[in-house]
Amino acid sequence: MKERYNFEDLKRIMSELRQKCPWDRKQTHESLKKYLIEEAYEVLEAIDNKDWEALKEELGDLLLQPVFHAKLAEEKGLFNIDDVVDHLCKKLIERHPHVFGEEEAKTAEEVLKNWERRKAEKRKSVLDGVPKALPALLRAYKLQKKAAAVGFDWKDIKDVEDKVKEEWREFWEAYKSGNLEKIEHELGDLLFALVNLARFLKIDPEEALQKANNRFIKRFSYVEKKVKESGKPWSEHTLEELDRYWEEAKKMETNNPNRSS
């Protein structure tokens, strides 16, 4: 073991793993897809927890993925990691003419505006560039932002509120009809409208839902704790009892100024 390794060491180690490790030899671009997603979310979790040691480790795990994919591509004669780095550097220079060129941008908003203008000039559709593989909530948010950037947007939050209410009524009518295909259709429209509301309020819906997930886990863990302390199995607890535990958990959060999201 060396005292300290660098990027060149990483490339060498990756090559050796592809030659000598049965698991690494077996991998393909397709088999690695799930790990890329998992590692990205573990990076996000480390950031949310402000765990900087974990962030250092998780960024390394995430970095492994492009290095691995580039190695697979190199073996096929397509490109290597140096080509990836070269392409990235050129893209960064191209995307920052206010730093490396003659364009001026004094605020972050101006930078984004100029960037969107340059991208729009190259794309066939305003909605191009939003990956289909994104989580549906995040994809909806990005699609709406792109449409809003060219003026396809509500003027007032009251309009957004009315749209959400309209979609709720249509969903409820579909629910009463019992037609599952129609219910799914209208539920999708309702969720899309709620994402629009979040965007209009400058709230990231993906982050808002993630925080709601975390609150649910925390509160449900309290309910589990109370069930265990009672000595009775879940089946012997009424919904009213479980709901009372749930409300206790919520009250504890309210009384704790340092509670998490």
> What 3-state class would DSSP assign to 19?
helix
The one-letter amino acid code at 166 reads E
| pLDDT value of position 245 | 95
Round to whole Å and give the CA distance between 258 and 252. 11
Please report, in tens digits, the pLDDT of each residue of the chain (261 residues total).
899 999 999 999 999 999 999 999 999 999 999 999 899 999 999 998 999 999 999 999 999 999 999 999 999 999 999 999 999 999 999 889 989 988 888 898 888 878 777 777 777 787 888 888 888 999 999 999 888 888 889 989 999 999 999 999 999 999 999 999 999 999 999 999 999 999 999 999 988 998 999 999 999 999 999 999 999 999 999 999 999 999 999 999 877 645 444
Element (H, E) at 156: none
CA-wise closest residue to 200 among 138, 154, 137: 154
Round to whole Å and give the CA distance between 237 and 239. 7
CB half-sphere exposure, 133, CA atoms < 13 A = 4
Judge whether 111 and 98 are in contact, CB under 8 Å.
Answer: yes
What is the distance in angstroms between the CA of the first residue and the CA of the last residue of the chain?
Answer: 42
Instruction: Extract the runs of DSSP E, i.e. beta strands, from 51-199.
Output: none
Residues in the chain: 261
CA-wise closest residue to 215 among 253, 251, 243: 253
